[in-house]
Amino acid sequence: MTTLTTLTRPQKAAAILVAMGKPSASRLLKFFKQEELKALIEGARLLRTIPQNDLERIVAEFEAEFTEGAGLLDSADRMDTILNESLSPEEMSAIMGDKRFEVAPEGPPPIWPDLEKLEAGRLGAFLSGEHPQTSALVLSKLSSQTAANVLLTMEKPIRSQIIKRMVTLAAVPDAAAKIVESQLRSSLLSQAAAKDISVGQARVASVLNEMDKPQLEEVMHDLEEAGTPDLDGVRSRLFAFDDLPLLTQKARVLLFDGLSTELVTLALRGAPPALTESVLSAIGARSRRMIESELGQGSEGVALADILGARKTIAVATIRLSRDGAFELPSSAQSEAA
């Protein structure tokens, strides 16, 4: 039997931990340093049965020393810090009873939901100027659809480098992720918050896209003469049926793959030969023969309004696919050259 007078301080600490029981003792042990744990283990090995009276005296001695030291903790904030660092939210909830306990968030909220709202082209242009490893980290935090749309706006060499790093991307430390978030927040989202005119540009472009080509060119000329700011952003969203030859072959194939032959036939009635060929070259052989057969019968009896409506539908479909990141619209320089 071990007597109180022969116990060392590590043995007394071990005795208190044993008396506390395994759950409570396990939570406390993680706060001991390695050398302290070693002393506790060595003390516990030499520990024998302790009489109940002696155990109560050890606990009383501990309480006295703890109370003396606790006088330093005169700040509620200090106590909150100790509790938050020592206990999990579940443990705090158990202690607080019916009172709901929530850990206060550290720093600003995650940036990824805000990045999801940006245009794919804008985010792609920004990430193209970053290191591929950084871009891979950012895209891995976004939804699969958003990441795919952004990748499609990038040049192939850059896109390949980013995808290669996404494949081998391991778990990123929180500290590194927070650094990237901070940089994105200051260099990308802050600019968007200060001057995000994309919504206004899209609204103006949607109005102008309803105009015929001559009317559109006249309005754009007037806007340039008036010194309208950010006109390039509006121009990049403009597209008419006559601009179809300016799309890449791949873009045209993707576009007409989702359109009916009836719609395409109607839109091509009365169209110039070069425009007609650019459309038919992106369509399968069987569908092309059907359309050519229909066009060979002439346009008599077909209302001009229906033809213009079909062309407008195709132009709108092109703009929608571009906004989804499927391909890019022709640049303003290409349109002017044409």
Q: Which domains does the chain have, with CATH numbers?
A: 4-72 (1.10.220), 112-196 (1.10.220.30), 239-337 (1.10.220.30)
Task: Answer yes or no: is pLDDT of 99 > 60.
Answer: no
In this prediction, residue 79 has a pLDDT band, given cuts at 50, 70 and 90, of: very low
* pLDDT number for residue 235: 75
Whole-number percent of the chain with pLDDT over 90: 17
Is the pLDDT assigned to residue 257 strictly greater than 80?
A: yes
Q: Is the pLDDT of residue 40 over 90?
A: no
Going by the DSSP 8-state scheme, the letter that residue 236 receives in this structure is T
Task: Round to whole Å and give the CA distance between 213 and 225.
Answer: 18
294 vs 169, more confident = 294
Return contacts of 167-170, CB within 8 angstroms, 24+ apart: 169/136, 169/137, 169/140
Query: For 32-46, 87-101, 174-188, 301-315, which range has the lowest pLDDT when averaged over its residues?
Result: 87-101
Q: What is the pLDDT of residue 217?
A: 78
Q: What is the pLDDT of residue 72?
A: 38
187 exposure class (CB count in 10 Å sphere: 0-12, 13-18, 19+) = exposed
Which pairs with CB-CB distance under 8 Å and at least 24 residues apart come from 258-263? 258/317, 259/314, 259/317, 261/287, 261/290, 261/291, 263/310, 263/313, 263/314
pLDDT of 65 above 80: no
Highest mean pLDDT among 75-84, 192-201, 210-219: 210-219
pLDDT at 193 over 50: no
Indicate if the pLDDT at residue 42 is higher than 80.
no
**Mean pLDDT highest for which of 42-51, 120-129, 200-209?**
120-129
pLDDT for residue 195: 46
The predicted pLDDT at position 98 comes to 45
Distance, CA of 124 to CA of 325 (rounded, Å): 10
